[in-house]
Protein backbone atom coordinates (compact mmCIF):
# COMPACT_ATOMS: atom_id res chain seq x y z
CA UNK A 1 0.00 0.00 0.00
CA UNK A 2 1.32 3.45 -0.92
CA UNK A 3 0.51 6.50 1.15
CA UNK A 4 1.04 10.16 0.23
CA UNK A 5 1.05 11.33 3.86
CA UNK A 6 4.42 12.24 5.38
CA UNK A 7 5.34 10.07 8.37
CA UNK A 8 6.07 13.16 10.47
CA UNK A 9 2.47 14.30 9.92
CA UNK A 10 1.24 11.04 11.47
CA UNK A 11 3.92 10.92 14.18
CA UNK A 12 5.23 14.47 14.81
CA UNK A 13 7.57 13.21 17.57
CA UNK A 14 9.70 11.61 14.81
CA UNK A 15 10.44 14.97 13.13
CA UNK A 16 13.95 15.11 14.65
CA UNK A 17 15.08 11.68 13.41
CA UNK A 18 15.87 10.10 10.04
CA UNK A 19 13.52 7.35 8.90
CA UNK A 20 15.44 4.36 7.50
CA UNK A 21 12.42 2.22 6.69
CA UNK A 22 8.88 1.15 7.43
CA UNK A 23 7.76 -2.49 7.39
CA UNK A 24 4.11 -3.46 7.20
CA UNK A 25 2.55 -6.88 7.11
CA UNK A 26 0.64 -9.22 9.39
CA UNK A 27 2.88 -8.35 12.35
CA UNK A 28 3.00 -4.89 13.94
CA UNK A 29 4.02 -1.95 11.76
CA UNK A 30 7.75 -1.47 12.35
CA UNK A 31 9.38 1.92 11.84
CA UNK A 32 13.18 2.07 11.86
CA UNK A 33 14.64 5.49 12.66
CA UNK A 34 17.99 6.91 13.77
CA UNK A 35 19.27 10.08 15.30
CA UNK A 36 21.27 12.10 12.76
CA UNK A 37 25.06 11.90 12.83
CA UNK A 38 26.96 15.10 13.48
CA UNK A 39 24.20 16.80 15.46
CA UNK A 40 25.39 18.45 18.65
CA UNK A 41 24.11 17.22 21.99
CA UNK A 42 24.62 18.68 25.46
CA UNK A 43 25.84 16.57 28.38
CA UNK A 44 23.21 16.71 31.14
CA UNK A 45 25.90 16.55 33.86
CA UNK A 46 28.54 18.98 32.61
CA UNK A 47 26.56 21.09 30.15
CA UNK A 48 29.25 20.73 27.46
CA UNK A 49 28.32 20.15 23.84
CA UNK A 50 29.67 17.19 21.91
CA UNK A 51 29.21 15.65 18.48
CA UNK A 52 31.83 12.90 18.82
CA UNK A 53 30.01 9.60 18.50
CA UNK A 54 31.27 6.76 20.66
CA UNK A 55 28.78 4.06 19.58
CA UNK A 56 25.11 3.38 18.81
CA UNK A 57 22.44 1.22 20.35
CA UNK A 58 18.79 0.51 19.49
CA UNK A 59 15.87 1.40 21.73
CA UNK A 60 12.42 -0.06 21.13
CA UNK A 61 9.14 1.77 21.65
CA UNK A 62 6.27 -0.73 21.44
CA UNK A 63 3.31 1.09 23.02
CA UNK A 64 2.21 2.80 19.82
CA UNK A 65 -0.61 2.29 17.32
CA UNK A 66 -1.10 3.56 13.79
CA UNK A 67 -4.57 3.35 12.30
CA UNK A 68 -5.62 0.88 14.98
CA UNK A 69 -2.70 -1.45 14.23
CA UNK A 70 0.04 -2.11 16.77
CA UNK A 71 3.33 -0.42 15.92
CA UNK A 72 6.93 -0.69 17.06
CA UNK A 73 9.48 2.08 16.64
CA UNK A 74 13.15 1.01 16.63
CA UNK A 75 15.35 4.03 17.37
CA UNK A 76 19.10 3.84 16.78
CA UNK A 77 20.57 6.41 19.14
CA UNK A 78 24.14 7.69 19.57
CA UNK A 79 26.35 7.53 22.62
CA UNK A 80 28.60 10.56 22.68
CA UNK A 81 31.92 11.27 24.39
Count how many residues are written for the chain: 81
State if pTM tops 0.85.
Answer: no
Q: Which sequence spans correspond to the domains of the chain?
A: 7-80
> Do the Cβ atoms of 76 and 36 come closer than 8 Å?
no
Tens of pLDDT along the chain (81 residues) come to 455 667 677 777 777 788 888 888 887 888 898 887 777 777 777 788 877 777 888 988 877 787 788 888 898 887 776
What local confidence, expressed as pLDDT, does residue 53 receive? 72
Question: What is the spatial distance between Cα 45 and Cα 2, in angstroms, rounded to a whole number?
Answer: 45
Pairing outcome for strands 53-66 and 69-80: antiparallel
> Do the Cβ atoms of 57 and 34 come closer than 8 Å?
no
Amino acid sequence: MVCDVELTELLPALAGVLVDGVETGPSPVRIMVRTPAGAMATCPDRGQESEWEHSRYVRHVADEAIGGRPAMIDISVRRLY
